[in-house]
Amino acid sequence: MSKSSDSPLETVDPTKFVPGSRVGATHGKSVSVALEMQFSAALAPGALSTKDKLLLLGATCAARRRRDPAREAFRRAINLGATEHEIEEILLACFVSRGALAYLEGRAIVAELFDVAEQYSPEDEKTSESGDPATSTRDILDKYLRYFTEPPLWVQSLAEYHPQFFAGHQLIRELVFTDGYVRRTLKELVFVAINSVEQYPYGIQLHLRAATAAGATKEEIFETLAVAALEGGIVTWIEAIHYFLGEGIRY
């Protein structure tokens, strides 16, 4: 039986996230304590459940092609009740953010964890609340006007020079930016985590605003940044917090 997503955090051995890793002999005790403190603090249930935090960590690692830690994070999330559908929607956020290959590598992890062959049945698909996908470049550009006064340069250029690629991006985007098996708020927090780890200012600012608009609380954002810092280090927190609390003003 799956554990509840609100269950107390199981004992975390941080080295399990990277098979074969060991804490070095030099200052080993202090390093071990620091690792345990950070993992326990970042993954303990709070405003976000431990399951959601593990999904965030798995997504961030998958987006960066860090297969071993992604597998361990998703494995632990499954132990707390995460379903294949939930992980799939999290990986679709990786698709939008960091490309098709990041998604496919993530799917390989899912197939391994659930020990099933790739299966797809159209009747099992959850219909997006956003309705039918846009069918033309003009339709897609019109949708971007809901978010921007004018479509940004990356949207305009991609629509002009690679309309089919652009349409594929929009198809996945519409699946991600709505409630489904995973609430939209958590998906926005996935983008916050990935962009913070990679210190991408535009993405950090855009998705901090979007996550807040989708209902994310300050506590949820702080907890997301702590999870992201397990992968990206303290600079992840430093970069993101300037845009969240300091309006981009540094130091």
Residue 106: is its pLDDT beyond 60? yes
How is residue 33 written in tokens? 């304590």
- Per-residue pLDDT, 23: 92
DSSP 8-state class, residue 2: P
DSSP 8-state class, residue 14: G
Residue 136: is its pLDDT beyond 90? no
- Provide the whole-model pTM: 0.87
Yes or no: say if 232 and 204 are a contact pair by the CB < 8 Å rule: no
Q: Give the mean model confidence (pLDDT) for residues 63-79.
A: 96
Please name the residue ranges forming H helices in 64-145: 67-79, 84-98, 100-114, 137-144
Which has more pLDDT, 22 or 143?
22
The torsion of the CA quartet 211, 76, 85, 188, rounded to 10 degrees, works out to: 10
Q: How far apart are CA 47 and CA 223, in angstroms?
A: 8
- Per-residue pLDDT, 115: 82
Tens digits of per-residue pLDDT, 192-229? 999 999 999 999 999 999 999 999 999 999 999 999 99
Q: Give the mean model confidence (pLDDT) for residues 143-155.
A: 78
Tens digits of per-residue pLDDT, 16-63? 999 999 998 899 999 999 999 999 999 999 999 999 999 999 999 999
Q: Give the mean model confidence (pLDDT) for residues 121-141.
A: 59
- Per-residue pLDDT, 143: 75
Q: Which of 129-133, 139-143, 169-173, 247-251 has the lowest mean pLDDT?
A: 129-133
Residues in the chain: 251
> Which pLDDT band, with edges at 50, 70 and 90, does 119 fall under?
low
Q: How far apart are CA 39 and CA 11, in angstroms?
A: 10
Q: What percent of the chain has pLDDT over 90?
A: 73
How is residue 200 written in tokens? 């991408």
Q: Which of 77-91, 115-129, 186-200, 228-242 has the lowest mean pLDDT?
A: 115-129
DSSP 8-state class, residue 18: S
- Per-residue pLDDT, 61: 97
> Which pLDDT band, with edges at 50, 70 and 90, does 131 fall under?
very low
How is residue 190 written in tokens? 């996935």
Q: What is the largest CA-CA distance in the chain?
A: 61
Q: How far apart are CA 21 and CA 35, in angstroms?
A: 13
- Per-residue pLDDT, 3: 42
Residue 185: is its pLDDT beyond 60? yes
How is residue 49 written in tokens? 């459940």
Task: Report the mean per-residue pLDDT for the chain.
Answer: 87
> Which pLDDT band, with edges at 50, 70 and 90, does 248 fall under?
low
Q: How far apart are CA 246 and CA 249, in angstroms?
A: 5
Q: Give the mean model confidence (pLDDT) for residues 174-178.
A: 90
Yes or no: say if 74 and 43 are a contact pair by the CB < 8 Å rule: no
